[in-house]
Structure 1
Amino acid sequence: MCGRMTMTHPTDAMAQLFEAAPANDLPEPPTYNLCPTQSVGVVVSGDGRSYRPMRWGFLPHWYKAMNGGPLLINARAETIAEKPAFKAAVRERRCLIAATGFYEWTKDEEGNRLPWYFSRPGGEPMVFAGIWQMWGKDDPVPTCAIVTTGAGEWMAETHHREPVVLAEDDWATWLGESGEKAAPLMRSSPGGYYQRWRVDRAVNSNRASGPDLIEPI
């Protein structure tokens, strides 16, 4: 599962990386505690690629309000093609969700939540497989979710799920640009893909912010 993220790379640099036209209202980095229901930078493909903000929290069309059902920040790869909320989106509306890193939690013997920060060893951005959907009629809101899968051997030491991370060579396939099937991409990352370290429990609050949140302890 992926429930908190960071984004520290400049918007223009990310747009160039994706060869995508950036929207004017993307969230301004750096962000060290990006939480569900906030805006995240998402790449979609249509008449060319665009890099745009979306609400993190997928809203099925039948929700009558934003809080009209469970908060769907993740979509399980194993069932995504069957779930009514996701099956059309995974066929027709796949996207790339960019982040610098993300947090996961373990518990100590007393049940306290202990946060860990995950990033790439070289500091480069990671790109998650995502799905998206417009919600609402009068003023449609773009919404998205991160696709997750069972944790690989290394990630399983911390959590039983992990986000599906896409290599650059797979971006076009996930976006539906190559004509190839995207299902084989929904797999765990190889060992050594991530680096991780414990961080302060301050990040347990969704109101916390600042670069100190990702400092090792």
Structure 2
Amino acid sequence: MCGRFALTATPNELLELFGLLKVEDFPARFNVAPTQPILVIIASERREPGSNLPERNALLVRWGFMPGWVKDPRSFPLLINARAETAVDKAAFRAAMRHRRILVPASGFYEWRRPPKGTRGSSQAYWVRPRRGRLIAFAGLMETWSPADGSEIDTATILTTGANEALSHIHNRMPVVIQPEDFSRWLDCRTQEPRDVADLLSPAPADYFEAIPVSDKVNSVANTGPEIQEEVAAEPAPTEKGSGADINAQMSLF
């Protein structure tokens, strides 16, 4: 899954990678958490006169998807992630998979290796970043929810897939990464149906990310500075109670 991520790129880096005409200035964010505003990239219906750039816009939405048919958000779970393998079949995501696919810019994400039942050990947080240090884009979905007062709230979720072999020892899920050459196809909801972009919903190559052990400072949303990405000595891998046998390679978190 993806429950925290970071976006520390500059506005100019976003302009260059996503082919945007403009983007508002924003501060570096080292600990983006659910329910907070996140920056997303959407396909635009209009092209600026004389521009040869792709038709894309950037906007802020709430991280936590809310289907339009929900009446009471207090009785509905916070959908920060959606399984890429089944999203098109789920009532909550079906319409968005067809009509409202988005990109979520990120510099990397955080994941936790948690000891399963029957083992000894502590949770270990990791800062997972692209090895080449570049800005990346997660596949996402967007929905506009209207409460009873008639206002509108744009909401989003990040699609996840099975973890690749390099990250599976930490967690069994990871965000779907869309490569720059596939941005247009993923965002094109007019001619590209979900079945046409299903091939994009696969794990990133094993050598794409590196996982850096970090402290539990990232656990608190109050910690928002670059120090949460500082490398620490990793906690020992979980072992079976009473045996001391290392079962890290066999554990299943879900």
Query: TM bucket by the smaller chain?
Result: over 0.9
Larger radius of gyration: 2
RMSD: 1.8
Amino acid corresponding to residue 174 of structure 2 in structure 1: E
- Which residue in the other structure is 1:14 paired with? 14
The Cα offsets for residues 144-164 of structure 1, whole Å up to 9 and x where unpaired, read as 101111112112111100111
Alignment deviations for residues 22-71 of structure 1 (CA, whole Å, 9 cap, x no partner):
454x7x22111100011111000022210111111100112234433111
**Cα distance per residue 1:135-194 (max 9 Å; x no partner):** 115221111101111112112111100111011111111001794511111111111000
Q: TM-score if structure 2 supplies the norm length?
A: 0.80
Q: Among residues 204, 211, 217, which one is paired with 2:226 in the alignment?
A: 211
> What count of residue pairs does the alignment treat as equivalent?
215
Q: Are the counterparts in 1 of residues 106 and 135 from structure 2 also a CA contact under 8 Å? A: yes
Distance in 2 of aligned mates of 1:93 and 1:82:
15
Residue 180 of structure 2 corresponds to which residue in structure 1?
Answer: 168
Q: Does 1:113 align with 2:123?
A: yes
> Where do residues 1-217 of structure 1 align in structure 2 (5 Å cutoff)?
1-22=1-22, 24=24, 28-47=26-45, 48-108=55-115, 110=120, 112-136=122-146, 138-176=150-188, 179-180=191-192, 181-217=196-232
Secondary structure at the aligned position of 1:157 is classed as coil
Deviates more, 1:146-155 or 1:65-74: 65-74
Please report how far the alpha carbon of residue 104 of structure 1 lies from its aligned counterpart in structure 2 after TM superposition.
Answer: 0.2
Q: Percent identity of the aligned residues?
A: 36
Once superposed, which parts of structure 1, at least 4 consecutive aligned residues long, lie more than 6 Å away? none
Where 1:155 maps in the other structure, the secondary structure is coil
- Over 3 Å counting, the alpha-carbon distance change for 1:209 and 1:110 in structure 2 is farther
Shift of the 91–177 alpha-carbon distance from structure 1 to 2, 3 Å rule, reads closer
Name the aligned partner's letter for residue 190 of structure 1.
P
Separation (CA, whole Å) in 2 of partners of 1:90 and 1:14: 24
Contact 2:167–2:211, Cα closer than 8 Å, also in 1: no
Q: Is the 8 A contact 1:151 1:161 kept in 2?
A: yes
> Which structure has greater strand proportion?
1
**Counterpart-to-counterpart distance in 1, 2:225 and 2:93:** 34
TM score, norm. by length of structure 1: 0.93
